[in-house]
Structure 1
Amino acid sequence: MTVSTSKTARLPSGFVVAPQLPDLLVSVKVRRGVLGFLRNHPTVAIGGALLLCLVLVGILAPHLGTVDPTALAPAKRTRAPSADFWFGTDALGRDIYSRVLYGARVSLIVGLSVALFASLAGLAIGLVSGFVRWADGIVMRFMDGLMSIPPILLAVALMALTRGSVGNVILAITVAEIPRVSRLVRSVVLSLREQPYVDAAVASGTRTPMIILRHILPNTLAPMLVQATYICASAMIVESILSFIGAGTPPTIPSWGNIMAEGRALWQVKPFIVFFPAAFLSVTVLAVNLLGDGLRDALDPRMAKGL
């Protein structure tokens, strides 16, 4: 028999309407969408916004009041920053503002390309060496040999065997960064292959390639994505160092390293030649590192702030 709780309904004698029980569990507000994610992780928002602005600067460089970055004007050399030359001019009269904006293309292309190629190659090597026991000793000893050489020295040695170009710089830095990704992925795979669901897949007769693709690979993407951001920042620094010492991109290609290398002789009297490209490089590396730190906190369940 159902008893109505309406105020207008008449209750039989001896029946009382029970008061409404309080909520024992406080409702959790789940913020969905990209805006909610960025609100919960401001570090990702700040780093992503800075990086997006720099990407737009590189793409829209021809439309931001720039001139030909390779145009020589000896009569206007070493001009201080002014309304005509916002960042001044270098020893050959070239507009530093235009060269810095076009140089953003080189650094971003090198950083993103190295992060992509090194992550893909390191992922494949780490998956195989971490899951296939007999290949672990062979592959990782080779990776240890590469890691024993400082990345800059390895990149310089590889650049000495090739011509100076952006593609060769990307290749040289990628080879130097692959061991870092492969060792990270291998360490994750070593812990994943001992999980019960992997043992169940092996017992059910699932082939090794399918186990790697279905059970191992998805769990390695989060740490690898965070590592890729740090590799991107490191690649931009290494590219600038290579260009600064004359082992990177050709002098005809405007890059932040080349600009700083050309202005180091005049650093004490014309510091602005080095200051502006160095400031842009620092801001770009900072943006990528902030993005990586924010992604690490967002993708790590131990760093979660709440349900």
Structure 2
Amino acid sequence: MSAFTADRAGVSAATVHAAIPMPDVLPPVKPRRGFIGFLRRNPTIAIGGGLLLIMVFVAIFAPFLWTKDPTALAPAMRTREPAARWWFGTDMLGRDVYSRVLYGARVSLLVGVAVAALASAVGLAIGLVSGFFRQVDAVVMRIMDGMMSIPPILLAIALMALTRGSVQNVIIAISIAEVPRVSRLVRGVVLSLREQPYVEAAVASGTRTGRILIRHILPNTLAPLTVQATYICAAAMITESILSFIGAGTPPTVPSWGNIMAEGRALWQVKPYIVFFPALFLSVTVLAINLVGDGLRDILDPRMAKSL
């Protein structure tokens, strides 16, 4: 090799080694980890969960939040405006509206959570069986279709007319009205999963039906079922308030948001605060549950995921 070629190669090598590294066009992305990062990535769950935690705190610690006996009568103090002594005023029987609203959160949240759990469990069992077994599906889903043809509130009213008013009967009546919607959702998921190759391979290998349902199909139904349960919880709270408002729900002696609004509707034009405060608490709680449901849908549904 000639001297010129050697010198040229040396210069090229020195130039390569002396080259200045180019700056990155885009700054490195720092993944947000931990609980704070999760809340930043999912503001809907953060807002809804925060509001819901406040309502749960109010319901649990109602006796310690400067409340009085929600059923104590004081006729001399009836229909008093909101003031320092009565933060939300008093109703036509002299009962403290603030105390009744805070204790009413217990009834509404209990009904919402219980109905969501009961309807989800029963609807899951019906949906799994009817979606996997074609012979059962032809009979069971026709029954579910017949129940879905009746509005849930009307079906709940009809069921409550057969029993006496109590929180337990309200939970059962609303759960029966919500079961068909859960069962149809689970059935649709099972119908799509039943045709998957791994399910067909499990059937061909002789795996028992119960094991296939529990191990291969059930886990894939939990994500949509969880989202649906949040909406059922919110709908159950509204239905309970409607039943109590028309006198077909919880007894008048039990403080619930529906009962408080029903008792104050006669004085709505002159004493609107009796209806306003329970309606406000109901609206905020239902909004919080719906926000949590929307956030869970965004997380659990890969098609709506915001980040990988």
- Normalised to the residue count of structure 2, the TM-score between the two structures is 0.91
Alignment of 1:1-307 (within 5 A): 29-307=30-308
| Structure 1 counterpart SS, 2:278 | helix
Q: Could you tell me how far 1:31 is from its partner in structure 2?
A: 3.3
Q: Deviations over 1:49-73 (max 9, x none)?
A: 1001000000000000100000000
Q: Could you tell me how far 1:117 is from its partner in structure 2?
A: 0.5
Q: Could you tell me how far 1:28 is from its partner in structure 2?
A: 5.8
Alignment-mate amino acid for residue 67 of structure 1? K
Alignment-mate amino acid for residue 244 of structure 1? F
Q: Could you tell me how far 1:130 is from its partner in structure 2?
A: 0.8
| Structure 1 counterpart SS, 2:163 | coil
Q: Is the 8 A contact 2:298 2:306 kept in 1?
A: no
Q: Deviations over 1:102-128 (max 9, x none)?
A: 000000000000000101111111111
Q: Do the aligned partners of residues 143 and 203 (structure 1) sit closer, same or farther apart at CA in structure 2, a change above 3 Å counting? A: same
Q: Do the aligned partners of residues 29 and 136 (structure 1) sit closer, same or farther apart at CA in structure 2, a change above 3 Å counting? A: farther
Alignment-mate amino acid for residue 267 of structure 2? L
Which residue in 1 is equivalent to 2:3? none
1-structure distance, mates of 2:194, 2:223: 17
Q: Deviations over 1:243-286 (max 9, x none)?
A: 00000000000000000000000001111010000000000100
The root-mean-square deviation of aligned C-alpha atoms, in Å, is 2.0
2-structure distance, mates of 1:76, 1:24: 72
1-structure distance, mates of 2:139, 2:132: 13
2-structure distance, mates of 1:46, 1:189: 33
2-structure distance, mates of 1:77, 1:110: 29
Deviates more, 1:296-305 or 1:284-293: 296-305
Deviates more, 1:19-28 or 1:290-299: 19-28
Q: Could you tell me how far 1:306 is from its partner in structure 2?
A: 2.4
| Structure 1 counterpart SS, 2:141 | helix
Q: Could you tell me how far 1:204 is from its partner in structure 2?
A: 1.4
Question: Whose helix fraction is larger, Structure 1's or Structure 2's?
Answer: 2
Alignment-mate amino acid for residue 220 of structure 1? T
Alignment-mate amino acid for residue 56 of structure 1? F
Deviates more, 1:17-26 or 1:133-142: 17-26
Q: Could you tell me how far 1:208 is from its partner in structure 2?
A: 1.2
| Structure 1 counterpart SS, 2:269 | coil
Q: Could you tell me how far 1:36 is from its partner in structure 2?
A: 2.3
Q: Do the aligned partners of residues 266 and 139 (structure 1) sit closer, same or farther apart at CA in structure 2, a change above 3 Å counting? A: same
Alignment-mate amino acid for residue 177 of structure 2? A
Alignment-mate amino acid for residue 62 of structure 2? A
Q: Deviating runs (4+, > 6 A) in structure 1?
A: 14-27
2-structure distance, mates of 1:66, 1:32: 41
2-structure distance, mates of 1:215, 1:135: 20
Alignment-mate amino acid for residue 48 of structure 2? G
Q: Do the aligned partners of residues 39 and 169 (structure 1) sit closer, same or farther apart at CA in structure 2, a change above 3 Å counting? A: same
| Structure 1 counterpart SS, 2:80 | coil
| Structure 2 counterpart SS, 1:102 | helix
| Structure 1 counterpart SS, 2:250 | coil
Alignment-mate amino acid for residue 161 of structure 1? L
Alignment-mate amino acid for residue 53 of structure 1? I
Q: Do the aligned partners of residues 86 and 193 (structure 1) sit closer, same or farther apart at CA in structure 2, a change above 3 Å counting? A: same
| Structure 1 counterpart SS, 2:288 | helix
Deviates more, 1:291-300 or 1:29-38: 29-38
Q: Which runs of 5+ in 2 are unaligned?
A: 1-9
2-structure distance, mates of 1:271, 1:167: 30
| Structure 2 counterpart SS, 1:72 | coil
Alignment-mate amino acid for residue 142 of structure 2? R
| Structure 1 counterpart SS, 2:189 | helix
2-structure distance, mates of 1:73, 1:24: 73
Alignment-mate amino acid for residue 112 of structure 2? G
Q: Could you tell me how far 1:21 is from its partner in structure 2?
A: 10
